[in-house]
Chains A and B, each alone.
Chain A
């Protein structure tokens, strides 16, 4: 099964795991499966209208899926997806 690597700040919502095995043949399916296994992750990964939050980056190997086929990016058995934070902020 493909795996998703969970960053430190989200592990508490994924049963403390650094890595979760998921099913699916695209990145979108894998992420959906991940949030079905660990529903508490949903609010931190997606906005209210179901879009991936802007500061949540999903990589397949070394590549951001935004620059591949996005949610449609194909994944297979041995693939590893990583959720990687970007950190943003400011004032007002």
Chain B
């Protein structure tokens, strides 16, 4: 699988990560799954509702996930995955990420510092939850 994402959507993820810094940001990747590639058509910001430690944790509540899914379906699209930022950490999934991950979804991680976004990578959880496969990002 690969994830196709345009410059405009990537730029929106960068901007969100930079605005939220030093806290983590998160949002949904919305578009079409056409088999070998997921095509992102839009990215939607979510509220980071984690109660504390938002510089190293994020949470998107089920009510908001449901709302994203309904909004996507109204537009004949699907929620393909989610993005979040790692302030001052690499764009690699953490053990905490793995424990909380869903299969199928693309997890785009943006590494951000005070100077801006340094790196963006996409990851998909393995079937047996043992780890991730990195997913090709097609611009």
Chain B residues near A85: list those with CB within 8 A. Answer: 62, 65, 102
Contacting pair A90 B58 (CB below 8 A): yes
Chain B residues near A44: list those with CB within 8 A. Answer: 102-103, 129
A30 to B28, CA, bound (A): 30
Contacting pair A87 B103 (CB below 8 A): no
Chain A residues near B101: list those with CB within 8 A. Answer: 89
Chain B residues near A54: list those with CB within 8 A. Answer: 100
Of the candidates A9, A59, A64, A91, the one having the most CB atoms from chain B within 10 angstroms of its own CB is A91
Closest to B92 in A: A91
Q: A85-B62, A87-B59 are in contact. Are A10 and B100 (CB under 8 A)?
A: no
Closest to A88 in B: B100
Contacting pair A8 B79 (CB below 8 A): yes
B105 in contact (CB, < 8 A) = yes
Chain A residues near B59: list those with CB within 8 A. Answer: 86-88
Contacting pair A43 B65 (CB below 8 A): no
Interface size grouping (class) on chain A: 20 to 34
B14 in contact (CB, < 8 A) = no
A53-88 with Cβ < 8 A to chain B:
54-55, 57, 59, 64, 82, 84-88
A26 to B82, CA, bound (A): 32
A41 to B129, CA, bound (A): 12
B86 in contact (CB, < 8 A) = yes
Of the candidates A10, A12, A90, the one having the most CB atoms from chain B within 10 angstroms of its own CB is A90
A43 to B82, CA, bound (A): 21
Of the candidates A10, A85, A87, the one having the most CB atoms from chain B within 10 angstroms of its own CB is A87
Residues of A participating in the B interface, judged by any CB pair closer than 8 Å: 7-10, 12-13, 43-44, 54-55, 57, 59, 64, 82, 84-92
In the assembled complex, 5 residue pairs joining A and B whose CB atoms fall closer than 8 Å, in A order, are A8-B78, A9-B103, A87-B59, A89-B101, A90-B86
